[in-house]
């Protein structure tokens, strides 16, 4: 969540929201604390939805990959 170069634009927004809400920048957060903080919920959810972090591959695609 903190270091992936592919998600830099989304990370920038996430950490700016964390700073705005709690006054702490990226280096001052542990990811678990950021996710647990109610004031940062919207920023974390926006980050997750915009990066597809944790998104599962649909079963149809898995079946195609298995049987091709």
DSSP line for 15-62: HHHHHHHHS--GGG--HHHHHH-GGGHHHHHHHHHHHTTTPPPPHHHH
Q: How far apart are CA 24 and CA 21, in angstroms?
A: 8
Give pLDDT, residue 48: 84
Residues of the chain with pLDDT under 70: 1, 68
Element (H, E) at 11: helix 8-22
Q: Domain ranges for the chain, please list them.
A: 5-66
In 3D space, the residue among 20, 35, 26 whose CA is nearest the CA of residue 3 turns out to be: 26
pLDDT at 1: 66
Per-residue pLDDT, 68 = 64
The Cα 31–Cα 42 span in angstroms is 15
């Amino acid at each position: 969540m903190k270091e992936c170069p592919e998600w830099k634009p989304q990370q920038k927004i996430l950490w700016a929201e964390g700073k705005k809400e709690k006054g702490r920048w990226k280096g001052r957060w542990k990811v678990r604390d950021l996710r647990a903080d109610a004031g940062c919920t919207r920023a974390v959810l926006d980050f997750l939805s915009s990066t597809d972090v944790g998104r599962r591959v649909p079963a149809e695609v898995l079946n195609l990959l298995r049987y091709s």
